[in-house]
Amino acid sequence: MPKFRRQTFETTIIERYQRRECSVEEWRNRPIEGEHPYLYLDWIVKKRTWAGEVRNVSLLVASAVNADGCREILGICEGAKDDKSGWSNFLRHLVDRG
């Protein structure tokens, strides 16, 4: 509870009543640049609260090691299945980005 009850609290990052930050889609669709000698693919299931319900959400994750030896997340796809078509679509999206 804020001490100053008559003042409204606002942030400069997330607008009022907004639940997501807009640049996430920009990050997901950013061009992949540079060389990545090692690529790691993983499928993760996380619990997520959506409209008062707790549901399992599938995440396909691509991480890589770049030429400098640093790890980097190349992409995350939410809601895809751990099957051939899910991985094919995810990998095609990564290839299209570079």
pLDDT in tens, 30-44: 999 989 999 999 999
Tell if the pTM clears 0.75, that is, is over it.
Answer: no
Cβ contacts of 13 within 8 Å, gap of 6 or more: 21
Mean pLDDT of the region 61-88: 89
Query: Is residue 94 predicted with pLDDT exceeding 70?
Result: yes
User: Which amino acid makes up residue 18?
Assistant: Q
DSSP, res 33: -
**DSSP letter assigned to residue 37:** S
| Amino acid residing at 95 | V
| Nearest Cα residue to 89 out of 71, 77, 72, 73 | 77
Beta strand 38-50 with 53-65: parallel, antiparallel or unpaired? antiparallel
Average the pLDDT over 52-64 and give the result. Answer: 90
At residue 61, does pLDDT exceed 70? yes
